[in-house]
Each structure stands twice: as C-alpha cells, then as structure tokens.
C-alpha cells in the first residue's frame, strides 16, 4: 500500500509546479510591457509643487515679462515724442500702470490657452501648462495687476489713457485670444493691440488723441507684420499642432505678401513724421537705410519663402524698431528749434 501511495505524491505536485513555471514565464514576458508603461508614466506631465522662492520667476513667465518690457518701452517712446515739457511723475505712473496692465492681459491670455499651449513645443513649459501654479492663482495675479494698473492710468494720469488700457486688455484677451483658433484675422487684431501702447504714451503726455498718436500707432502696427509673420513661419508645425489659425499655416503666400507690404509701409510712415511736425526732416533721411534694409529682407522672405529668410527678417525686426524710435526721438521737433528745412521759425 505504501509503494502505491508514494508515487502519487510527485504526480500531484507536477501540475502545480508546471503552473508556477507558466506563471513565472508569463510574468517575464509581461515585464517589458510593464517597464515600458513605467517609463512612459515617468515622461508624462506631473504637477510640480510651488515653492515661494520660485514664485517671482513663475509670475514673470506668466506675465511674459519680455513682452511687457517691450510694451512699456513703446509706451515710453510715445510719451517722450509727445509735444510739451517732460513730466517725470506722470511718466513713471504711465510706465508702471502700463506694465501692470500688460502683465494682467498676458496672464489672462495664458489662462485661456492652457489646453492648446500643451500641444506646442514653444509653449509647453509655461507655468500653467506645467502645473507650477493653479488657475485660481493666475487669475488672482491678473486681477491684482489689472485693478491698480488701470487705476494708476485713470486717476494718476488721465481717464483717456485708462480707457485705452481697459480697451486693450479686452481686445487682447476677449478678441485676439479666441480669434487665434478661428480666423487669420487674429493677426490684424493683434497688430492693433500692439499699436495701442505708444498711443497711450502720447495721450498720457498730452491728454488727447491727435495725428502724432495715430502715426506712432501706425508705425507699431506695420512693424508687427514682418516681425510676427517671420516668427510664425518657422513655427508653422507648432501652430498647426496647437490648433491655431495663422497665416503662415493656412495662407503662406498671403503671409509673405503682408510682411513685405508693411516693410515698405514703414518708409512711408517715416516720411509722414516731419509732415505732421513730430520730427524734423532729418529723420526720414537717416532712417532710410534701416527701412530699406528691412524692406530688402521682406522681399527676400517673399521670394525665397524659407526658414533662413524668415529668421533674418525676424532678427532684423528686433533691432529695427528700437533704433527707429531712437532716431525719431533724436530728431524730435522742439519749439523754437531751427536749422532743418521746414522747421518752425522762432
């Protein structure tokens, strides 16, 4: 009886051992997939904790501090080019109020565009996309910038400048931002947004909207087309992934034509400056070389339609605008100044 029962024990163990071996082999087969999943999860977006030391840098990126600096500089140029004595307290209030208003508009813009920015290499590292700050904090920051910014411009400067700030915040956040996913008209609306800051500087100094304010706005308006169209040309794939309707993506021919057209317009606007008594007649002549150069690069971009020509035009636009405004300021017409053709006689 014992001899019959003892062989049965190994037989009863064999199936379980076989099952264990099969399970182990199955786990070995499945392990590469599990490792792949773990690696994929490691690469996926993870929310980051907010540290107080990092907050200034995060808020600077949220407010697009470089763009805000450009907005303040063009506002300052408009203030300095306006006729009349230079009022330092008013200038400082104008610069501060404009800077705060720009920070507010840029923060709200990023708040609305989080789902789309996450699909673009250019914008995927923005604070809201990465979860470095909460949407509530972003909106709170925008509010804390907009309210004192508009208040400073309205009561510290004049109501007209404050009204222009409110209008520009609305135009940027409620018109330009949603239009980017609907129509190429967003580029023209965005150009108006960029043209308003120098107008605000002029109205801050004079309290009125006159020909000089519109000329400065026209220069900023035209400058933005070669600047942005050249920039967007190299980012066409990125904008397409983000779902943005840009000329460079949907109408590449129109994108190049518009850039060239406004490069040429800058020369005409420079000639109009002395006609409107903003500068002396020296200005259109000394600004002609840089205006012809950007027009030449605009023509090369129109003809070549490649990344190289677009980059050259874009980088030229970065130094063209500040140099043009500096030349305008140097040649500003001052009461009683003589020596240039057409100057007012004292």
Structure-block tokens of residue 192: 């108006």
Place of tokens 């605000």: 200
Amino acid 24: pLDDT: 53
Q: Could you give the CA distance from residue 132 to residue 159 in angstroms, rounded to a whole number?
A: 37
Please indicate, yes or no, whether residues 168 and 226 belong to a single structural domain of this protein: no
Residue-wise pLDDT for 150-175, tens only, equals 999 999 999 999 999 999 999 999 99
Please indicate, yes or no, whether residues 243 and 172 belong to a single structural domain of this protein: no
Please indicate, yes or no, whether residues 224 and 303 belong to a single structural domain of this protein: yes
Please indicate, yes or no, whether residues 122 and 224 belong to a single structural domain of this protein: no
Q: Could you give the CA distance from residue 333 to residue 288 in angstroms, rounded to a whole number?
A: 18
Q: What is the dihedral of CA 253, 256, 258, 259, to 10 degrees?
A: 170
Find all residues with CB under 8 Å of 66, minimum gap 6, and list them.
Answer: none
Residue 3 located in a structural domain: no
Cα 284 → chain centroid? 29
Q: What is the CATH number of the domain that holds 204?
A: 1.10.357.140
Q: Residue 332 forms beta bridges with which residues?
A: 279
Please indicate, yes or no, whether residues 290 and 193 belong to a single structural domain of this protein: no
3-state helix, strand, coil in the chain (%, to 5): 80, 0, 20
Q: Could you give the CA distance from residue 109 to residue 291 in angstroms, rounded to a whole number?
A: 32
Burial pattern 117-141, b for ≥16 Cβ within 10 A else e, equals: bbbbeebeebbbbbebbeeebbeeb
Q: Residue 279 forms beta bridges with which residues?
A: 332
Residue 85 located in a structural domain: yes
Give the burial class of 217: count Cβ atoms within 10 A of its Cβ; 0-12 exposed, 13-18 middle, 19 or more buried: buried
Amino acid 269: pLDDT: 98
Residue 218 located in a structural domain: yes
Residue 72 located in a structural domain: yes
Residue-wise pLDDT for 262-284, tens only, equals 999 999 999 999 999 999 999 99
Please indicate, yes or no, whether residues 239 and 123 belong to a single structural domain of this protein: no
Please indicate, yes or no, whether residues 177 and 56 belong to a single structural domain of this protein: yes
Please indicate, yes or no, whether residues 201 and 217 belong to a single structural domain of this protein: no
Amino acid 84: pLDDT: 87
Mean pLDDT of 234-248: 92
Place of tokens 């100094």: 205
| Residue 341 pLDDT > 50 | no
- Reference 110, options 83, 88, 130; nearest CA is 130
Please indicate, yes or no, whether residues 198 and 58 belong to a single structural domain of this protein: yes
Q: Please, what is the average pLDDT of the chain?
A: 88
Under a CB-based contact definition with an 8 Å cutoff, are residues 314 and 337 in contact? no
Under a CB-based contact definition with an 8 Å cutoff, are residues 218 and 267 in contact? no
Q: Where are the alpha helices (DSSP H) in 135-287?
A: 135-151, 159-170, 177-179, 186-206, 211-233, 236-242, 247-250, 252-275, 282-286
Single out the residue in 192, 208, 224 at which a domain terminates: 208
Amino acid 19: pLDDT: 55
Single out the residue in 208, 224, 243 at which a domain terminates: 208
Residue 46 located in a structural domain: no
Q: What is the dihedral of CA 147, 149, 151, 157, to 10 degrees?
A: -170
Amino acid 15: pLDDT: 52
Please indicate, yes or no, whether residues 217 and 180 belong to a single structural domain of this protein: no
| Residue 258 pLDDT > 80 | yes
| Residue 34 pLDDT > 90 | no
Q: Could you give the CA distance from residue 227 to residue 194 in angstroms, rounded to a whole number?
A: 12
| Residue 41 pLDDT > 70 | no
Least confidently predicted of 71-75, 196-200, 235-239 = 235-239
Please indicate, yes or no, whether residues 197 and 109 belong to a single structural domain of this protein: yes
Amino acid 151: pLDDT: 98
Residue 39 located in a structural domain: no
Amino acid 48: pLDDT: 56
Residue 33 located in a structural domain: no
Q: Structural domain of residue 113, as residue ranges?
A: 51-208
Q: Residue 233 forms beta bridges with which residues?
A: none
Residue 54 has φ and ψ, to the nearest 5°, of -85, -10
Query: C-alpha distances in angstroms, 94 versus 80, 89, 144, 278?
Result: 12, 9, 17, 21
**How many domains does the chain fold into?**
2
Please indicate, yes or no, whether residues 186 and 95 belong to a single structural domain of this protein: yes
Select the more confidently predicted residue: 16 or 134.
134
Amino acid 54: pLDDT: 84
Q: Could you give the CA distance from residue 308 to residue 301 in angstroms, rounded to a whole number?
A: 8
Amino acid 339: pLDDT: 45
Residue-wise pLDDT for 204-228, tens only, equals 999 999 999 999 999 999 999 999 9
Query: C-alpha distances in angstroms, 190 versus 109, 148, 150, 222?
Result: 12, 24, 20, 11
Amino acid 1: pLDDT: 43
| Residue 335 pLDDT > 80 | no
| Residue 8 pLDDT > 60 | no
Burial pattern 265-283, b for ≥16 Cβ within 10 A else e, equals: bbbebbebbbeeebbbbbb
Residue-wise pLDDT for 43-54, tens only, equals 455 555 667 778
Residue 224 located in a structural domain: yes
Mean pLDDT of 85-95: 96
Single out the residue in 177, 208, 239 at which a domain terminates: 208
């Amino acid at each position: 009886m014992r001899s019959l029962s003892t062989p049965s024990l190994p037989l009863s163990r064999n199936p379980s051992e076989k099952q264990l071996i099969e399970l182990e082999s199955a786990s070995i087969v499945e392990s590469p997939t599990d490792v792949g999943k773990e690696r994929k999860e490691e690469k996926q977006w993870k929310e980051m904790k907010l540290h107080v030391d990092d907050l200034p840098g995060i808020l600077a990126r949220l407010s697009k501090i470089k763009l805000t600096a450009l907005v303040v500089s063009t506002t300052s140029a408009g203030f300095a080019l306006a006729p009349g004595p230079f009022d330092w307290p008013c200038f400082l209030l104008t610069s501060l109020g404009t800077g705060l208003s720009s920070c507010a508009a840029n923060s709200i813009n990023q708040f609305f565009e989080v789902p789309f920015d996450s699909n673009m290499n250019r914008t995927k590292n923005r604070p809201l996309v990465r979860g470095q700050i909460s949407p509530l904090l972003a909106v709170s920051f925008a509010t804390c910038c907009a309210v004192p910014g508009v208040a400073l411009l309205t009561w510290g400067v004049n109501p007209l400048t404050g009204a222009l700030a409110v209008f520009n915040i609305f135009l940027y956040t409620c018109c330009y931002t949603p239009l980017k996913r609907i129509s190429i008209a967003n580029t023209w609306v965005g150009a108006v947004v960029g043209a308003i800051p120098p107008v605000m500087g002029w109205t801050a100094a004079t309290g009125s909207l006159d020909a000089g304010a519109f000329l400065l706005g026209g220069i900023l308006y035209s400058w933005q087309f070669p600047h942005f169209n050249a920039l967007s040309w190299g980012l066409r794939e990125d904008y397409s992934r983000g779902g943005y309707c840009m000329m460079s993506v949907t109408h590449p021919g129109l994108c190049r034509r518009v850039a060239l057209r406004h490069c040429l317009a800058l020369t005409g606007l420079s000639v109009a400056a002395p006609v409107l008594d903003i500068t002396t007649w020296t200005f259109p002549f000394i600004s002609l070389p840089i205006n012809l150069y950007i027009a030449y690069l605009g023509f090369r971009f129109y003809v070549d339609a490649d990344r190289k020509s677009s980059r050259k035009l874009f980088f030229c636009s970065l130094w063209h605008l500040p140099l043009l405004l500096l030349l305008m300021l140097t040649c500003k017409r001052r009461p009683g100044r003589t020596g240039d053709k057409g100057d007012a006689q004292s």
